[in-house]
Chain A
Amino acid sequence: MMRIRLEPRAEPSRFAGWLSPMVAAVAVVLIGLVLFSLMGRNPWHALYVFFIEPMNTLYDAGELVLKASPIMLCAVGLSIGYRANVWNIGAEGQLIMGAIAGGGVALAFHDSDSRWVLPAMFVVGAAGGMAWAAIPAFLRTRCNTNEILVSLMLVYVASLILSLLVHGAWRDPEGFNFPQSKMFAETALLPILVAGTRLNVGLFIALAAVAAGWLFMQRSLAGFQMRVAGLAPAAASYAGISSSRTVWIGMLAGGACAGLAGVGEVAGPIGQLLPVVSPGYGFAAIIVAFVGRLHPVGIFFASLLMSLLYLGGEAAQMHLALPSSVTGLFQGTLLLFLLATDVFIRFRLRIVRPPTAATAA
């Protein structure tokens, strides 16, 4: 009898680092072929529609990047905390708080034509996200409360606050009692980057966050300390790295980025406050952060992939008449595969033969 077992590698494998997404991609193509054939569609055409069609035109490419931006922002912010074992899973709530805070500025200065309205929205929005993230950070550092759970609970609270506002105080008085705010004034909207698309300058904020995230983690002392705290907590405390400072940095980075993403949505493609401002970008970002291996460059590509999966699902509905549920099914499969195949970076497969077989040979 042979047994297969996993052994930890001394060094993470670079080769496996490249190999694992390839393995996942092949697996997904195979699953796609089977799935689509079973549903009576031409599987190659279906894969084409799912993965290539959404990038066909300039407009589509713009949509791809537009949808990837908030996910990218949230994921970069989250990854800083995750590197240090600070588990903020409430980016969705922090995004909503950012949208509320930034949107509040837009509504308060609705009649202003100052060009400072938009920057103010981003500053206040980031502060809103940070404030929301500060609650779990405070409870973790003061009361040792588990931040995974507190940040998750606060997602529900944030979405209810938004609902309260758009159903009540911030409802558009001209809007026939429908639950939505006024449309933001022109000064509160992000300028369009490429004519004919919806791509706006919010993209630069996301890219800047990616760059800043990379600089911080790879080049700054604080970033180094965060990484040490994540890899070897005991060593970190010996070296005098404050664990509560780590928690605060990790949480606030996540909150600020998510808050910016929230403002980017309401000041970008939405243009007003609605009861729901995000279709779960904050949660998608958690998966993206891990698929991107907590590295800004990885996150950049992973968020584009995530966005592609959303758009591919729409294209599949439109061109293949596949039900919308296929999207979730396919997304889940791909992500689980990507997460699973990463095992080969840190572990190697080893075939273990029982001793008797060894002596016989």
Chain B
Amino acid sequence: MMDHAITLLLLTLAAGTPLVFAALGELVTEKSGVLNLGVEGMMLVGAVVAFIVATTSQSPWLGVAAGMAGGAALSLVFAIVTLSLHANQVASGLALSLFGIGLSAFIGLDYVSVIIEPIRPLTVHGLPDIPVVGVLLFGHNPLVYLSLALFAAIQWFLSRTRAGLVLRAVGESPQSAHAIGISVVRIRYLAVLFGGACAGLGGAYLSLVYSPSWAEGMTSGRGWIALALVVFANWKPWRVLAGAYLFGGVTLAQFQAQGMGVELPSQYLAMLPYIATIVVLAIISRNAAVIKQNAPASLGRPFHPEG
């Protein structure tokens, strides 16, 4: 039983990790007041670029870096269209997803049959063999640790640094931020690029670690779930983390039950996270003070200093 619990925990962490990357990135983007619905496209581009670079360079870590660059490059398109050219963010984000899905499939055509050596879990000699704690602390993939580090960094950045404060100010009230001399557009560009890089990293995790291969549409909607997650988390990093593991864990728990012969209608279970998100959202937004603290007030609104 203990073994089961540990395995389930390990699997849950592994399943939640791509969501952690993508959702944390989107959180930072949204904190600056920009809603980028193109996460699915950016993840896919990240996945394919990471895969191509990792196979041609034989260096998975170079692949990870390239995946981030790929995601960021795609988000740059979004940034130019929405921030410099003032197009609607919702429509542009959806168009970006369409574009990213097509682009990734297109550049990945010659790589669908390529085999890759995945990034393996760290094996610090002997450590994972310590009962229970060993596996839980040392048995993960390096990218899982990276996702936790990213979480800590973002948490610290948003709550403890001046730059984090500036980012939040831009998302809260771009007009006042502009008035005190902050370059709103520059900050938003950086936030969008960061979000793109994180989504690309989530994609790289999928193609290099989680199911090491490239196939069209291999993210299977995880980008959309990441979007839901940010809201579910009420724009708090630690809740993104918890939510990602919850989303990943629900599926796994359902699989565990199935394997043991317990019948649960999968559609009801699959609905749960979305319904839970709506309920949580409704409850937190009833309390205006809570939502005000966290949700960026200018989310989705274009900004131009003169109008």
Does B87 contact A287, Cβ atoms closer than 8 Å? Answer: no
Within 8 A of B (CB), among A127-180: 135, 139, 143-146, 148-150, 152-154, 156-157, 160-161, 163-164, 167
Cβ-neighbour of A143 out of B88, B99, B277, B285 (below 8 A): B285
Chain A neighbourhood of B267, CB < 8 A: 160-161, 163-164, 167
Q: Nearest-CB distance from A192 to chain B (Å)?
A: 31
A330 interfacial by beta-carbon distance below 8 Å: yes
**Interface size on B (CB < 8 Å)?**
55
Interface presence of A12 (CB below 8 A): no
- Indicate if the CB atoms of A290 and B88 lie closer than 8 Å: yes
Contact: A286 with B90, CB < 8 Å? yes
Cβ contacts B70-84/A at 8 Å (1 or 0 each)? 000000010011001
Contact with A along B85-98 (1 / 0, CB 8 A): 11110111011111
Given A87-B300, A144-B285, A286-B90: A329 and B277 within 8 A (CB)? Answer: no
Least distance between A339 CB and chain B CB atoms (Å): 4
Chain A: CB-nearest residue to B87: A339
Q: Which of A96-104, A249-257, A261-269, A341-349 contacts B (4 or more CB under 8 A)?
A: A341-349
Residues of B within 8 A of A243 (CB): none
A191 located at the interface, meaning its Cβ lies under 8 Å from any Cβ of chain B in the complex: no
Q: Which residues of A contact B81 (CB under 8 A)?
A: 336, 339-340
On chain B, the residues within 8 Å of A113 by CB distance are: none
A336 touches B92 (CB 8 A): yes
Chain B residues 39-75 with CB under 8 Å of chain A are: 41
21 A-B contacts, Cβ less than 8 Å apart? A6-B304, A87-B90, A87-B300, A89-B90, A146-B281, A146-B295, A149-B228, A149-B277, A150-B278, A156-B271, A287-B95, A325-B103, A325-B105, A325-B109, A328-B101, A332-B41, A332-B96, A333-B99, A335-B91, A336-B95, A339-B88
A330 adjacent to B300 (CB under 8 Å): no
Could you tell me which B residues sit within 8 Å of A by CB distance?
35, 37, 41, 77, 80-81, 84-88, 90-92, 94-106, 109, 216, 224, 227-228, 231, 265, 267-268, 270-271, 274-275, 277-278, 281-283, 285-286, 288, 291, 295, 299-300, 304, 306-307
Any B CB within 8 A of the CB of A326 = yes
Task: Determine the distance from Cα of A333 to Cα of B95 in the docked complex, in whole angstroms.
Answer: 8
Are A153 and B106 in contact, CB atoms less than 8 angstroms apart?
no
Nearest residue, chain A, Cβ from B80: A340
**Cross-chain contact A148 with B300 (CB below 8 angstroms):** yes
- Chain B nearest CB: distance from A351 CB in Å? 16
Please pick, from B95, B102, B281, B288, the residue contacting A339 in the complex, using a CB distance under 8 A. Answer: B95
Measured between beta carbons, the chain A residues less than 8 angstroms from B85 are 339-341, 343
